[in-house]
Amino acid sequence: MTVDAGNLWFASENNLFASLNSPTLQKNIPEHLRGAKNDWFGLSMRARTIVYNPKKVKGDEILSYENLSQAKWQGKLLLRTSKKVYNQSLIAVKIQENGEAQTEAMVKGWVKNLAQPVYSSDTKLLEAMAKGAGDLGIVNTYYLGRLQAKNPDFPLKVYWPNQNSSGTHVNISGAGILKTSKNKVEAQKFLEWLSQPAAQKLFAELNMEFPVMASVALHPLVKAWGSFKPSKTSLEFAGKNQKKAIMLMQRAGYK
Ligand code: FE
């Protein structure tokens, strides 16, 4: 079990996973949130979206990840390091959605607009933004959720970008069963159990992510961020385009 389709794809690519013939998992987990060989499955969904300081920015000015490369955001953007798989997966999926040239132009624009050097973690980025280090940035929402759970007055807001185009970037926490497992039958039962509504609710509430099963209720704090259209681009591409994404970010000067 791990986070990020990029990691699961890598394990699959290295033939670590057994192929899993489970009608239950195939029914409960949407196709774009699992591996093409049915050897890894997303169990909850995380959104990597734009968070902003409402004292500095009007939400409806933000529009899209691509729009953050415009000169109007110069000296306002905060980003986490490109070394983190979350950003590698975001860019890998963007390459799939927009092509390499357009994605490189976007990342170059982001780098030009940075308010601060890149952060080592989403939490540090959010804490810095709350103190005025920048106006908006790209993070996974559960990090904001944890800060809001500790402090209901935490002064930042969630924006859902790309609602009129590709949708907001989502990734997964998920799992596969190792070929070397001595308990494949039990492991499959466990994953099937995690994909059922009752477990989906517990799982998503505890990690403040989104259930992969759309009908399952959200954590109240997560629900308060409003509904959004997620990207339906297959997360296979988070892995397939990972190398291209890393090279592209290096060319664009994204540290
Ligand atoms: Fe994380």
Averaged pLDDT, 162-182: 97
Q: Where are the alpha helices (DSSP H) in 1-121?
A: 5-13, 23-28, 85-98, 100-113
Using the mean position of ligand 1's atoms as its centre, give its distance from the Cα of residue 141 in Å: 9
233 Cα–ligand 1 center, Å = 21
pLDDT at residue 76, rounded to an integer: 98
Instruction: Please give the Cα distance from 190 to 87 (Å, whole number).
Output: 30
Report pTM.
0.96
Answer whether residue 214 shows pLDDT above 90.
no
Task: Supply the pLDDT for residue 203.
Answer: 87
Q: Which of 203, 226, 241 is nearest to 1 (CA)?
A: 203
Q: How far is the CA of 39 from the centre of ligand 1 (A)?
A: 22
Q: Which pLDDT band, with edges at 50, 70 and 90, does 218 fall under?
A: very high
Q: How far is the CA of 3 from the centre of ligand 1 (A)?
A: 7
Rounded Cα distance, 121 and 93, in Å: 21
Predicted confidence (pLDDT) at residue 6 exceeds the cutoff of 90: yes
29 C-alpha vs ligand 1 centroid, how far in Å? 21
CA dihedral 69, 71, 73, 74 (to 10 degrees): 110
Secondary structure class of 14 (helix, strand, coil): coil
pLDDT more than 90, % of the chain: 98
- Whole-number Å distance, alpha carbon 183 to ligand 1 midpoint, is 28
Average pLDDT over residues 85-91: 97
pLDDT of 204 reads 85
Whole-number Å distance, alpha carbon 239 to ligand 1 midpoint, is 17
